[in-house]
Amino acid sequence: MTIPNIIFDSENTLRIEQRVHRSDQQCGRQLHVFGRLDICSSGESSNRGRVEIKIISGDKKLTAATKIHFDDHFVDISTPFLADWWDKDGPKPCVKLLVTVYMPCDAQLDILELKVDSLDVSVMEGLKLKVADKMSITTFSGSVRVPSFSRTGRTSENRVESREMLIQTYSGAIEGGFSLHDLLKIKSGSGSVFLELGLVSTESATSAKLSVETEFGNIRITTPFVFYYRQSKKGYKNKPPSRDYIVELETTSGKIEADVVVASRATVRSRAGDVLLRLVPVPFSARGNGKTTVVTDVDYGKTRIFLLESSYSGAPCADKASSTTELETTNTSSNSGLAGLHSAHRSISGDIKVDVPDDWSGELIADTHTGDITSYGKHITIMRSSQGEPRMMEGLRGSRDSSVRMKSLWGSLELFVGQPQVLSRERTTRT
């Protein structure tokens, strides 16, 4: 079945829903419904597209029982929950759905909503789609996949953009390259999340919020064009747009590994899983207080934090995109994105290790009940320390414009100033 003449422009909406219809019927065999919803480019230059639907089943009654309703903005596909005519013994009744949305070149929509019960959702290579307001994809038992960004350093080859993007699964994985404008919210019940993040907007007047949450799955996030493309060891080839970046990552049982840009705050929580963060701080709008807060809260797992050299210098960016500061290296924390950066890290039983660059200055506060407290680096003055149980240490390096706080019940705490892998660097103290 083909639904033609779907209009794609910035004023139109498109909603596609696939669901299992539950009636008052009590008897019969439960249907197994599976398949795919693919979004791809038609290669046509008009503003019209189409939706093609294929229903595959070995039983004509099952095919006929699948209902399709549609209009210019809405497609509804429903299958019955039970087949009362099906033999109680033998194979389970199955229906396979293949739904393909063909969008024109450089397609536009105001709102796109995809809500499916049991289909995988895939964005195919070569699609360029801009959703002006909000794009949401929800699947109960399927996965969501979009193409990874090109390794050429450009996001334009595969790009699906929306001011707000909401992706949710209950038992499937979410993976691919996603662009962050105002909001990117990802949530998975029992699936893992693997994201390549593209920072494509140059607008600095609004915040850019990344929120990723899983119940039982790992989280892996990269920002490849900020972290992996460099002109030299100290110079970034691509700088993130000057905005207030907010990061929220949370899992109940799973590992978190993220390479992200942060401005006003980053919050990372895990009840049972290791956390590895590499953070690039960015000075944010002068409307804020100029401070960056990084918080990790891990019950049972190791925490490893790398606060990388700031990619900016000078005062926090103003509210105009044209005032974005140039990337350059700095030697003093007071002139970099590290100024005003306050990080606090807590665990119950896991070790905590924090690495800061050479230009960091600030105070260190560490508390643990039974673990060790260790710091590596030069020019750290120990203000207070205590041995026995509990143990604590307070240190200062330069000014107090930044801080690192670590607290663990049974884990050890370590601070590295400079490169942590070079253990021959001056070791300040051990408590």
How distant, in Å, are the alpha carbons of 49, 102, 116, 119, 282 from that of 98?
A: 17, 13, 12, 9, 44
Residue 308 near residue 357, CB atoms below 8 Å: yes
User: Which of 240, 207, 204 has its CA nearest to residue 320?
Assistant: 204
pLDDT at 324: 30
Exposure string for 356-388, b = 16+ CB within 10 A, e = fewer: bbebbbbbbbbbbeebebbbbbeebeeeeeeee
pLDDT at 421: 44
pLDDT at 197: 94
pLDDT at 243: 86
What are the residue ranges spanned by the domains of the chain? 1-112
pLDDT at 155: 52
pLDDT at 91: 83
pLDDT along the chain (431 residues), means of 10: 94 96 73 95 94 93 90 93 79 92 96 97 94 96 90 57 96 94 96 92 80 97 75 54 92 96 95 95 64 95 90 43 31 56 96 93 95 91 88 92 95 86 39 45
